[in-house]
Structure 1
Amino acid sequence: MSASIEVRGNVALITMSNPPVNGLSLAVRQGVAAAIDQAMADPAVEAVVLTGAGKAFSGGADIREFGSPKAVAEPNLLSLISLIEGASKPVVAAVHSVCMGGGLELALGCHYRVAAPGTQVALPEVKLGLVPGAGGTQRLPRVIGVENALNMIVSGEPVKSEMLAMIPGQTLFQQIIDGDLIEGAIAYAKEVAAKRPLPKVRDAKASHPEADAYFQFARNTVKAMAKNFPAPAKCVDCVEASVSKRFDEGMVYEREVFTALMFTPECKALRHAFFGERAASKIPDVPEDTPKREIAKVGVIGAGTMGGGIAMNFLNAGVPVVMLEMKQEALDRGIGVIRKNYESQVKRGKLKADKYEGRMALLSTTLSYDDLKDADLIIEAVFEEMGVKEKVFNALDAVAKPGAILASNTSTLDVDKIASFTKRPQDVVGMHFFSPANVMKLLEVVRGKATAKDVLATVMGVAKKIRKTAVVSGVCDGFIGNRMIEQYSRQAGFLLEEGCTPAQVDKAVEKFGFAMGPFRMGDLAGNDIGWAIRKRRYVDKPGLRYSKTADLLCEMGRYGQKTGAGWYDYQAGKRDAIPSAVVVKMIEDHRKELGITPRKISDEEIVHRLVYALVNEGAHILEEGIASKASDIDMVYLTGYGFPLWRGGPMNYADQKGLFNVVQAMKRFGQNPLDDAKFWQPAPLLAKLAAEGKSFS
């Protein structure tokens, strides 16, 4: 996990080795520095080639050292780059596969660079709320031009090496080597071994013919596209410094900006999300080397919106799917929707026609459960009613082969009870996709009490293959996401009774950063879904209070967009939410019936009642072991419920506000006679952490 040196003729080959992406750990930096010193001291060595072992040149900083003293210990990356740049013999970077972040900055510090075709090249720091911190904003404009460099730095997106090599006048890559990269790099190093002076990127000039106008245009564009994130605008400032300042001054400026951004709440939230996504795949009692079952064919039961979306995920990943329905008309309708979705992608240039046909060729249909007998994974997406689920799993138990994984797409029902309908509960798991299933990133993986560890490991692997962010939940009503959103929605209802309109609540929450407020969300999902859940609650939990406004709305037949009327009015063929005078009057009449005098409610109260309701229920979920860590809850809300990314999820937001302050706010909410005082009792875990001055993370 360091670096090795091998002398081949008059060239020293230095190879970084720190799987999986040769992160620039302290050991790697020390190893490279020692190898450079050795090569410079060896009279037989006339040139050096620097490369990375395995499947990457270098992916940048080693995330395992983030926040630790090792991350900045000498030689830090800046020092290592300076050492290479000042070397007395030419150093050639041989980049391949992945060259990102600090890895690209390291390559830019070398005198020459050669690349394998298809190498993914990027400076993705902006995605963590940062600017490149080791010279990326100063050196990249000097080798590919100011505009190309700024586009890469602001977007953080990778560009293939051969595309970069096609830029007129670029000096990022001296050669693209089609054959053996190392042999080609060594041959190139021999060619340049005697050339002097050694070229340094820092000595090149970054310029733009209309610099002032261009950077102002760039700032305006970035401000419009990333108004809640400070890093993109700072990227513009840093690249401008590469043009307006001397190199050393630009480096100092970049470092100052990098350091300042590190402490912004947006950067902290983005880093929290970055680590949270990786941590979500790790299940405490399921080792990473747990053997996985082979998933070569998938069965999907139900050809509706959800079933079709689920099937598309697997077709996109090249996995054959057999789709089951009870009637041919339902199958035909479902296949038609899938075709329409793909044809739309083809029309927009997002999918090639041959890929579309290839995916459809992987899809087969059936009206018989017998045709699922060779499927390795079967996912049901049928009506959310336990009796319906029982019939499906009874049928699956009879036909599915031994070892097949049987999954339910239930959003609220008891997975343990569903598993009991089979003689193989160890093979049953919840796979709760979010609508539209072919678009939404979140997959809640619901672990039953009997679910086998290899089933969990397999499903988590499948999630990665179909590009989902999978979060494991225990069994409870609503799992993580829907259990929490119920409390959020209850508070939204109480706010209506106390004086708000649906539009006021939605606007406050959307201003906070949610993709949409609770009432627009209800209209999109269908208000009748929530109504059905409340009817069940009235029987199961008669002491749990709800505002009656949502029931009154449904009794008026206003189910949302699908009926052209919900909390808002909708025009045919459009999704614009138009405030409804009818709904406002219904709410006002209901208030009068309850004897409530409406009051003015601030946006701050609206936001904190809704968000802290999520936080308190999330704390209960952690306490009960439904979620294993707070970051899992945040990933559910960031990827499935439109929580603002720059706030890092509800639990991270509470940490940022300070749990003591959150608890104090909850105590105030509990004193409101029109609210639910019992709910606002802080969860014991939340109260404990607040008292000890700790946080969820």
Structure 2
Amino acid sequence: MSGKVHLERDGAVAVLVIDNPPVNAGSAAVRRALLARIAEVEADPALTAGVLIGAGKSFIAGSDLREFDLPLADPQLPQVIAALEGSAKRWVAALHGAALGGGYELALGADARIAAPGTVLGLPECGLGIIPGAGGTQKLPRLVGRSRAIALICGGTRVGAAEALELGMIDALAAGDLRAEAVALALASGKRRAIERDVPEEPGAEIEAAARKAAAKGRQRPHILEAIAQVRAVGQQPAAEGLAAERAAFEHLRLQPEARALRHIFFAEREASRGAATGGTPGPIRGFGVLGAGTMGAGIALAALQAGYPVVLVDSDPAALDRARKRIGDEIGRSAVAGRLTGEAAEAARAALTLTDEMARLGEADVLIEAVIEDLEVKRQVFARLDSVAKPGALLATNTSYLDIDPIAAATGRPEAVVGLHFFSPAHVMKLLEVVPGRSSSSEAVATGLAVARALGKQPVQAGNAFGFIGNRIYAAYRAASEFLLEEGALPQEVDAALEGFGLAMGPFAVADLSGLDIAWRMRQQQAPQRDPRARYVEIPDLLCAAGRLGRKTGAGYYRYDEAGKRQPDPAAEALIAEARARKGVIPRVLAPEEIRSRVLAALVNEAGLVLEEGVAARPGDVDVVLVNGYGFPRWTGGPLHWAGQQDPARLAADCARAVADFGPQKKAADLAGLRILASADKA
């Protein structure tokens, strides 16, 4: 039976061992067993204290999220914690592995908390569109203060055991055997329920500053504002009223569409991380070799260094190596200053980097990643050379954004060892990594590609080997639909504002300027001979590039940029746009933000449907994970296909039909109903 809690005796101390593998999720079965064992301890006069500890690798890594779409079964977690706090006996929570969400809230119900080194603690509920609902917002401020509690709760921050001790989130750090030390702590006299403690005094200005920062970082989402309100109220009302208000807010939020969407993307990410079930065993990942020291190559090298791996970075251009050395060194320094790396880890990362023009040095690496210019013939030449230096069993990966993996792999004598690893810029920051098998890629190579993503802390998504894979294929349609609107009368800032108002991190034209207009221009030039003459083609981006307006790096693109990089509308760009309209005889009209959003999002959804139909993406959730993690689609919508499933089916179908017509007669309409995207079963 799952969800067991074993009662073991250590003299006068009861040790309750929570045993619900693999991560001891706080399920209904666990709650029932805990409540029964706490009552058993309370009724036994021979037992004077108790310890809560987890079996296996964790204390409790959080609640079972599968329960959150249903009425919560009794006993609910607050009832279990109330039994703990109402006990006449002293309780200690012994934490290891992870004590997150409801797991840490359970620990907050004990008199004291002791953690093994390496334990991770926190209240990540805000990342799921809810707030802690079992005392977290009421007790954490009593331990760490209101301003710090706001930051920790709204940020969903995971805290290591040593830092948790400094903050006051735990009372002791185990020096040896966790269980033995917890038993000794339980025998200490006195009870110290967190809910009964006074809130530490701190300046109101600090609390207000923390609230403003958290609200802004959380994009003013309802659950963030609710969490702030709950923390602010701590100590201003009786504890019982605070706990009741917190629980009511939690119950309301967990049933809202936003929380459902965030749970969807959570499970979609977990599923995507597994990739396709190929049965392959990953190869070793002990060191990386990166060919190409440009922006992307340096970023990939930095991602591996920050994850603790040695890196050989190769480029034939000494100037490129010098720039990469400086860029990597500066970023490692910034990470150390910001606390993302310890001083020791920063020094180790610097020491683990080798920069050289000798390609033979790549033979030391288990994973070789090519990051050169996006040109098929150049990449084929590079892979022929990589094949000659790579050791047997090494993974050969191309960082291509668009190109066919198969002719690249065919340039080697081991096409089975080649996969695509499409990083997103900046590679050391962006979480998404598309893993793209070619026709000959072995199951072991694919498994290694997925393992590389996990080793670097990335979110992998396995994509089919088709032009643009999942993300760039869909984004190209999104960008094209945005360009149609420019041609019809909208200005870049109007399109960007409408889509940023929807929740996208940046509008399409701000993104184009950031990444550089010349990259897409080069791709359009390569595709020109194959372009369908029936397809609608907007010349505005080409005119901007021809005028030398390549984006931020040249100080001008769709916008102009000041010395600080701040964008401003540019009359010169608007004149070029007007010129392009006049060439086609277009009479510009005003487009409302609602029309901009509906047309662009419909084009994106239709293209996503085609990606699914063609098998480029295996699941709708994979599309959502790609667009959320790689392209700034608002996470709280669950991604574009989850969002589409919550819209009025007739309205969205009409919008998609218009979007398809915008592209021209060659454009195919996706069967969104057949794909169960329209009128989805989980529509809120």
TM-score normalised by length of structure 1: 0.90
2:281 is the alignment partner of 1:284? no
Shift of 1:499: 0.8
1:310: which partner in 2?
A: 300
Seen in structure 2, the aligned counterparts of structure 1 residues 284 and 445 have a Cα distance that, compared at 3 Å, is closer
Tell me, in whole angstroms, the C-alpha distance in 2 between the residues paired with 1:154 and 1:324.
42
Shift of 1:150: 3.6
Tell me, in whole angstroms, the C-alpha distance in 2 between the residues paired with 1:463 and 1:360.
21
Name the count of aligned residue pairs: 681
More off after superposition, 516-525 vs 337-346: 337-346
2:369: which partner in 1?
A: 379
Q: 1:606-617, aligned counterparts within 5 Å?
A: 606-617=596-607
1:584: which partner in 2?
A: 574
Tell me, in whole angstroms, the C-alpha distance in 2 between the residues paired with 1:614 and 1:669.
9
Shift of 1:179: 2.7
Shift of 1:337: 3.0
Per-residue Cα deviation, 1:594-646 (whole angstroms, up to 9, x for no partner):
22221110111112222221111111111111111122112212221122223
2:393 is the alignment partner of 1:403? yes
Asked if 2 retains the 8 angstrom alpha-carbon contact of 1:299 and 1:323, the reply is yes
Per-residue Cα deviation, 1:405-445 (whole angstroms, up to 9, x for no partner):
11000000001221122222211100111112122211111
For residue 30 of structure 1, what is the amino acid of its counterpart?
Answer: R
Tell me, in whole angstroms, the C-alpha distance in 1 between the residues paired with 2:216 and 2:10.
53
Asked if 1 retains the 8 angstrom alpha-carbon contact of 2:150 and 2:214, the reply is no
Tell me, in whole angstroms, the C-alpha distance in 1 between the residues paired with 2:122 and 2:678.
44
Residue 373 of structure 1 aligns to a residue whose secondary structure is helix
Alignment identity in percent?
A: 41
Seen in structure 2, the aligned counterparts of structure 1 residues 654 and 370 have a Cα distance that, compared at 3 Å, is same
1:266: which partner in 2?
A: 258
Q: 1:323-338, aligned counterparts within 5 Å?
A: 323-338=313-328
Shift of 1:554: 2.1
1:101: which partner in 2?
A: 101
Of 44, 47, 64, the match for 1:45: 47
Of 476, 485, 510, the match for 1:520: 510
Per-residue Cα deviation, 1:174-200 (whole angstroms, up to 9, x for no partner):
5444232211222233344xx6xx654
Of 609, 618, 628, the match for 1:638: 628
Tell me, in whole angstroms, the C-alpha distance in 1 between the residues paired with 2:338 and 2:52.
42
Shift of 1:89: 3.4
Seen in structure 2, the aligned counterparts of structure 1 residues 545 and 367 have a Cα distance that, compared at 3 Å, is same
Of 676, 684, 688, the match for 2:671: 684
Seen in structure 2, the aligned counterparts of structure 1 residues 483 and 42 have a Cα distance that, compared at 3 Å, is same
2:535: which partner in 1?
A: 544
Asked if 2 retains the 8 angstrom alpha-carbon contact of 1:92 and 1:114, the reply is yes
Tell me, in whole angstroms, the C-alpha distance in 1 between the residues paired with 2:203 and 2:354.
58
Tell me, in whole angstroms, the C-alpha distance in 2 between the residues paired with 1:216 and 1:396.
56
Q: 1:99-498, aligned counterparts within 5 Å?
A: 99-116=99-116, 119-161=119-161, 163=163, 165-166=165-166, 173=170, 175-192=172-189, 200-206=193-199, 219-287=211-279, 290-345=280-335, 351=341, 354-498=344-488
For residue 614 of structure 2, what is the amino acid of its counterpart?
Answer: E
Tell me, in whole angstroms, the C-alpha distance in 1 between the residues paired with 2:170 and 2:387.
59
Per-residue Cα deviation, 1:128-177 (whole angstroms, up to 9, x for no partner):
1211111222233344444443443233213445555556xx7x655444
For residue 247 of structure 1, what is the amino acid of its counterpart?
Answer: A
Seen in structure 2, the aligned counterparts of structure 1 residues 449 and 80 have a Cα distance that, compared at 3 Å, is same
Asked if 1 retains the 8 angstrom alpha-carbon contact of 2:93 and 2:110, the reply is yes
1:507: which partner in 2?
A: 497
Seen in structure 2, the aligned counterparts of structure 1 residues 152 and 128 have a Cα distance that, compared at 3 Å, is same
Shift of 1:577: 2.3
Asked if 2 retains the 8 angstrom alpha-carbon contact of 1:442 and 1:640, the reply is yes
CA root-mean-square deviation = 2.8
Asked if 2 retains the 8 angstrom alpha-carbon contact of 1:659 and 1:690, the reply is no
Tell me, in whole angstroms, the C-alpha distance in 1 between the residues paired with 2:488 and 2:541.
14
Residue 657 of structure 1 aligns to a residue whose secondary structure is coil
Of 69, 75, 92, the match for 1:67: 69
Seen in structure 2, the aligned counterparts of structure 1 residues 443 and 221 have a Cα distance that, compared at 3 Å, is closer
Asked if 2 retains the 8 angstrom alpha-carbon contact of 1:52 and 1:58, the reply is yes
More off after superposition, 28-37 vs 383-392: 28-37
Residue 50 of structure 1 aligns to a residue whose secondary structure is strand
Tell me, in whole angstroms, the C-alpha distance in 2 between the residues paired with 1:68 and 1:360.
50
Seen in structure 2, the aligned counterparts of structure 1 residues 615 and 110 have a Cα distance that, compared at 3 Å, is same
Asked if 1 retains the 8 angstrom alpha-carbon contact of 2:59 and 2:103, the reply is yes
Task: In structure 2, list runs of 5 or more residues that go unmatched.
Answer: none
Tell me, in whole angstroms, the C-alpha distance in 2 between the residues paired with 1:89 and 1:379.
58
2:624 is the alignment partner of 1:627? no
Per-residue Cα deviation, 1:519-556 (whole angstroms, up to 9, x for no partner):
22222222122222222333223233211222222222
Asked if 2 retains the 8 angstrom alpha-carbon contact of 1:228 and 1:646, the reply is no
Seen in structure 2, the aligned counterparts of structure 1 residues 482 and 45 have a Cα distance that, compared at 3 Å, is same
For residue 40 of structure 1, what is the amino acid of its counterpart?
Answer: E
Tell me, in whole angstroms, the C-alpha distance in 2 between the residues paired with 1:501 and 1:143.
51
Asked if 2 retains the 8 angstrom alpha-carbon contact of 1:669 and 1:680, the reply is no
Residue 407 of structure 1 aligns to a residue whose secondary structure is strand
Task: In structure 1, list runs of 5 or more residues that go unmatched.
Answer: none
Tell me, in whole angstroms, the C-alpha distance in 1 between the residues paired with 2:251 and 2:411.
57
Tell me, in whole angstroms, the C-alpha distance in 2 between the residues paired with 1:4 and 1:365.
55
Tell me, in whole angstroms, the C-alpha distance in 1 between the residues paired with 2:50 and 2:580.
79
Seen in structure 2, the aligned counterparts of structure 1 residues 235 and 190 have a Cα distance that, compared at 3 Å, is same
Tell me, in whole angstroms, the C-alpha distance in 2 between the residues paired with 1:150 and 1:401.
51
Residue 244 of structure 1 aligns to a residue whose secondary structure is coil
Tell me, in whole angstroms, the C-alpha distance in 2 between the residues paired with 1:322 and 1:231.
45
Tell me, in whole angstroms, the C-alpha distance in 2 between the residues paired with 1:155 and 1:667.
40
